[in-house]
A and B are shown apart, each in its own frame.
Chain A
Amino acid sequence: MKRYIVKRICISAATLLAILLILFLMLELMPGSPFNDEKLTQSQVALLNAKYGLDKPVFIRFLNYVKNMLSGDFGVSYTISKNTSITTLLASRLPISIRIGGQAVLLGTVVGLLLGLIAALKHNTIFDTMTTVISVLGVSLPSYVFALGLSYTLGYQFKWFPLLYQQQAAVKSSVLPTISLAMFTVATVARFTRTEMLEVLGSDYMLLAESKGLPGWRLILIHGLRNALIPIVTVLAPLVVSLMTGSLVVEKIFSIPGIGSLLVTAIQSNDYNVIVTLAFIYSAMYIGIMLAVDILYGLIDPRIRLAKEDDYEQS
């Protein structure tokens, strides 16, 4: 298992490097430059390009960037916030997006698992139907519909929560965006948990466990849920990433100073370093979470863990 993890981390690093290179090439192909201002003269642009090293060929720039990045320097912003280093620019925004996303993941997973479990255990009852309705709504309605609905009812009518994000009331004002973001996760996880649990509950090993006379909670949690979790973990991984990296629309509705909106602004204004850094963070998170999921698989399912160990013993 250890060797497997080390190998996976090496592959991940190589993947990230490749992604970075592709990003550089794509930005090179993008029309315009950060200094698209008509007031600037040709020589001024050339001067700026030279200052930021943009006059060098793309490959040299790539190598320089990687070199700086390894020492923690992601460069400076060209247009959005002139000459501020990307690290400071993100320091205030990234935590907000990650926090709200993390809350949404947690809420969505816990509620989704519970709903799915109840639906499976009370199969073909009113609980089951309710869960199905919630799942269909959650999957088919986009998150901004929930965001608008929640801010109109709970925010505007009842005035329980602030309509817009306030830095000084960070917890309270993150409630509505968290719920709106979590709905899709709730729906997906509930649907998967229900299906998987129903399948597991009908399996022979559950019948054997039942005939051993084990108490109900042990049957459901130890024998049932663990086996049902394997496919659920698979669908959860991409959901986690998309939530952690912030949702553009929900951030706009609640005017949250997160990274979702920053990325769009950066792309519009050709702020190369911001784009590269954000895209890099997205990729790194995605790869990281995929790695975590793979390790989690091994922990949950001995068949996967042992198969991997066998592979390494043979090689």
Chain B
Amino acid sequence: MNKDKVLSIRDLSISFQTSAGEVNAIRGVNLDLYQGETLAIVGESGSGKSVTVKAIMGILSGNGKVKSGTIDFTSRKSGEEMKEELLSFSKKEMRRRINGRRIAMVFQDPMTSLNPTMPIGSQIMEGMRYHYKTNKKEAYEKAVKLLDLVGITEPEKRMKSYPHQLSGGMRQRVVIAIALSCDPEILICDEPTTALDVTIQAKILELIKDIQKKTGISVIYITHDLGVVAKVADYVAVMYAGKVVEKGLSEEIFYDPRHPYTWGLLSAMPDLDTHDEVLYTIPGSPFNLLNKTEGDAFAERNRFALNIDYRLEPPMFQVTETHYAATWLLHENAPAVSMPEALKDRIKRMGEEVNSLGGE
């Protein structure tokens, strides 16, 4: 691979100290993000998606502790390559050098993520004023441009507006404008469309894609909506119980999924052209990370589980150069198990649909 790596997470483990005991939220995560590409992290609530990106930003909550691992960030902004290990930075250094400036984040709920007592213009200008000491006039002009870029009409007039005067979709656009204000190299979107209604969702996704095309920014998406993933992602990582269980190119995950959990996720997507009466769900509830794991954390909910799944945690098996999955089913001695028929049928239909839309 000759693409430029921007972010490389190796063996990241994070635990939280709670009153009920130690919760191992992240257990050895490996992920890569390449220049100008989009990585989507998918998984149920509590699978560790948000914790992973909060660790990248250095904004883990007080009781969180990084137990092991490295996050290497390669910056190519000023022409020359600069490699930095983010976990070695103190909170203060992260704030001064990385947060907002190199890596920016868009949060889930635009209704609550803007300061209610500050005009949106000031909230956009704040980052530039602090990081680059931009003077007021320049910062103002740039903020107006950014508002225009994210598709807010009459940007000059809106600069003085307060968050409560804007709709949810507009607020999320403002949050994106804030994130872009310091020309970061990585944009992290933590479920950016979950709190918005469907028509606005599509527009926000389009917007982020558009910005990516214009600025060449690398994007990490966190979502549990596979529909979103299909629209935006180049590369997909499926997380379960604090581990990446399958990762690969978007096409590989959608058309040739290997992990039973990914099968479950894909089957659980609502589908209009099916003969099934009820929507498929993965049985059971997410693994409780308070418990120590023995074997595969997904084994109890997995109807394809093998005996070994209850005793030994599966390693990452390589499927193709880019596609990996952590399931014993890929072991050479495993019985031949393939994905459920219904899912196979659906994937076939998805493929046909994409082909028929291909000429668009």
Contacts and interface: CB of A to CB of B under 8 A. Distances in A.
A218 interface: yes
A233 B37 CA distance: 49
A213 B59 CA distance: 10
A208 interface: yes
A205 interface: yes
Interface stretch (B108-116, B140-148, B339-347): B108-116
A205 B116 contact: yes
Which interface residue of B57, B95, B108, B112 has the most chain A CB atoms within 10 A?
B95
A212 interface: yes
Interface string A191-211: 000000000000111011111
A227 B116 contact: yes
B107 A215 contact: no
B116 A301 contact: yes
A223 B116 contact: no
A44 to B, nearest CB: 66
A82 interface: no
A226 interface: yes
B105 interface: yes
A303 interface: yes
A137 interface: no
Contacts of A227: 115-117
Interface string A120-163: 00010000000000000000000000000000000000000000
A211 B108 CA distance: 13
Contact of B126 (A212, A301, A303): A212
Contact of A215 (B57, B95, B119, B164): B95
Contacts of A237: none
A214 B99 CA distance: 8
Contact of A207 (B113, B116, B127): B113
B126 A210 contact: no
B204 interface: no
Contact of A204 (B101, B104, B107): B107
Contact of B127 (A213, A303, A306): A213
A301 B117 contact: yes
Contact of B178 (A203, A207, A212, A223): A212
Given A204-B109, A205-B114, A306-B162, A210 B127 contact: no
Given A214-B126, A218-B130, A209 B95 contact: no
B100 interface: yes
B94 interface: yes
Contacts of B99: 210-213
B131 interface: yes
Given A207-B59, A303-B164, A213 B114 contact: no
Given A208-B114, A227-B115, A213 B101 contact: yes
Given A303-B164, A306-B165, A215 B117 contact: no
A223 B122 CA distance: 12
B295 to A, nearest CB: 36
Given A300-B117, A302-B117, A213 B131 contact: yes
A313 to B, nearest CB: 14
B98 interface: yes
B96 interface: yes
Contact of B59 (A211, A218, A306): A211
B175 interface: yes
Nearest to A226: B117
Interface string A275-315: 00000000000000000000000001111001000000000
Contacts of B104: 211-212
Contact of B130 (A208, A210, A215, A301): A215
A213 B130 contact: yes
Which interface residue of A210, A211, A306 has the most chain B CB atoms within 10 A?
A211
A213 B164 contact: no
B113 A208 contact: yes
Contact of A208 (B96, B98, B101, B107): B107
Given A211-B59, A213-B95, A306-B162, A205 B130 contact: no
A223 B95 contact: no
Interface in A255-288: none
A208 B178 contact: yes
Contact of A205 (B92, B98, B112): B112
Nearest to B57: A211
Contacts of B92: 216
19 contacts: A204-B108, A205-B112, A205-B113, A205-B115, A208-B105, A208-B175, A209-B115, A211-B107, A212-B104, A213-B101, A213-B131, A214-B95, A214-B126, A216-B92, A300-B117, A301-B116, A302-B116, A303-B162, A306-B162
Given A303-B162, A306-B164, 16 more contacts: A204-B113, A207-B59, A208-B114, A208-B178, A210-B95, A212-B178, A213-B96, A213-B99, A213-B131, A214-B100, A215-B130, A222-B118, A226-B117, A227-B115, A302-B117, A306-B162
What 6 A-B pairs come out closest when comparing CB atoms? A213-B99, A213-B100, A212-B100, A204-B112, A204-B113, A213-B95
